[in-house]
């Protein structure tokens, strides 16, 4: 079931909408970082204006979205209210942009789907960002029972490859400058949202 969700933009949007309605995550608060700045959404999916993304697409100066799925990119283009938004098919580890092209880059619930290391994707996002990289993703409980509950949920509804514990996230981010973060989510605080500030 989980893999089928990522083949159908309509099915995916309905499930995300239902989940957001029934169990909304706490907002990190990123509008002060995104308003008035250029923004790239990596793994944009089919709805780049979904409420859970937190930014306001009308208040960014330039917007671009990339996804590895051509079907989702086409759906995003069709559903987007901004005529000047740019979309393309690309992988997070090979973005078709020059260094520091966007003020802000957001990677919303994408990293756990990757078959390669998070570090590689984060380096590439930082390369094309000028100021900030914002990441929303999952964090696995280190408590056995809750970790098992989370794993069942993810296998049923998410279809990802890698779910890191807080300790594993710390190892991935050890060389990064985190300016704000929260842990939220209805299933044992299973959602991790944070902002990386580009330092070089």
pLDDT band at 5 (very low <50, low <70, confident <90, very high): low
Q: Determine the pLDDT at residue 159.
A: 77
Average pLDDT, the chain: 91
Give me the pLDDT at residue 6, please.
61
What pLDDT does residue 70 have? Answer: 95
Span 86-104, average pLDDT: 97
pTM: 0.91
Does the pLDDT at position 4 exceed 60?
Answer: no
**Residue 26: CATH number of its domain:** 3.40.50.150
Range in 60-74, 93-107, 149-163 the model is least confident about: 149-163
Taking 60 as the threshold, does the pLDDT of residue 3 lie above it? no
Out of 25-39, 95-109, 142-156, least confident range = 142-156
Domains identified in the chain, total number = 1
Secondary structure, 3-state, the chain:
CHHHHCCCHHHHHHHHHHHHHHCCCCCCCCHHHHCCCCEEEECCCCCCCCHHHCCCHHHCCCEEEEECCHHHHHHHHHHCCCCCCEEEECECCECCCCCCCEEEEEEECCHHHCCCCHHHHHHHHHHHEEEEEEEEEECECCCHHHHHHHHHHHHHHCCCCCCCEHHHHHHHCCCCEEEEEEEECCCCCCEEEEEEECCC
Containing domain of residue 8, as a range? 2-197
pLDDT for 147: 92
Task: State the pLDDT confidence band at 10, using cuts at 50, 70 and 90.
Answer: low
Distance CA 29, CA 116 (A): 29
């Amino acid at each position: 079931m989980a893999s089928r969700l990522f083949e159908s933009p309509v099915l995916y949007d309905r499930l995300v909408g239902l989940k957001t309605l029934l169990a909304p995550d706490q907002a990190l608060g990123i509008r002060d970082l995104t308003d008035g700045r250029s923004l790239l959404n990596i793994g944009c999916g089919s709805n780049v204006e979904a409420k859970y993304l937190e930014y306001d697409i009308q208040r960014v100066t330039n917007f671009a979205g990339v996804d590895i799925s051509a079907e989702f990119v086409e759906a995003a283009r069709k559903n987007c209210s901004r005529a000047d938004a740019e979309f393309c098919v690309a992988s997070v580890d090979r973005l078709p942009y020059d260094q520091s092209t966007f003020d802000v880059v957001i990677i919303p619930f994408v990293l756990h789907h990757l078959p390669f290391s998070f570090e590689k994707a984060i380096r590439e996002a930082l390369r094309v960002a000028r100021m900030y990289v914002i990441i929303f993703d999952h964090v696995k409980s280190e408590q056995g029972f809750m970790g098992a509950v989370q794993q069942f949920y993810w296998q049923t509804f998410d279809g990802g490859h890698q779910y890191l514990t807080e300790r594993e996230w710390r190892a991935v981010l050890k060389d990064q400058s985190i300016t704000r973060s929260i842990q939220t989510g209805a299933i044992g605080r299973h959602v991790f949202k944070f902002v990386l500030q580009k330092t070089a």
